[in-house]
Amino acid sequence: MKKYLAILAVAIVGVGCESNTYEDLLDEEVPAGTITYNANVKNIIDANCVSCHSQGGTASFRLLTNYVEVKAAVENAGMLDRIQRQNGEPGLMPQTGRMPHDKINTILEWNAQGLPEN
């Protein structure tokens, strides 16, 4: 009986564990002050989205190569929802895995501040 309880306890603990990347564990903060596309968001998009969302990419139907395109994706294409989904959820972007929390939060704060370009 004790053996079964021990196995059950290990299984419950294992289900509750979450895998994090080193970047997630650093818990970096969102930049202070005004967040702009050019200063803060462009680098995140370039590093995580443009390889697919550019001319010739696998998702070239939704380009994310400049301010106008990224702003439109936030406002009209559900980008904020898709970047906040958990690993394994359908529709998560980027498809290679969830971005670190600080990157997601920077984009969310940029949206909250009205999506300024400069």
Q: What is the pLDDT of residue 31?
A: 84
Q: CA 28, CA 106: separation in Å to the nearest integer?
A: 10
Is residue 98 pLDDT above 90, yes or no?
yes
Mean pLDDT (whole number) for 12-40: 67
Q: What is the pLDDT of residue 1?
A: 65
Is residue 33 pLDDT above 80, yes or no?
yes
Residue 105: CB atoms within 10 A of its CB come to 17
Name the pLDDT band for 14 (thresholds 50, 70, 90). very low
Q: What is the pLDDT of residue 6?
A: 52
Q: Which residue has the higher pLDDT, 54 or 7?
A: 54
Structure-block tokens of residue 114 = 């009205």
Q: Which residue has the higher pLDDT, 96 or 25?
A: 96
Do the beta carbons of residue 106 and residue 35 sit within 8 Å? yes
Q: For the whole model, what pTM was predicted? A: 0.76
Is residue 5 pLDDT above 70, yes or no?
no
**Averaged pLDDT of the chain:** 86
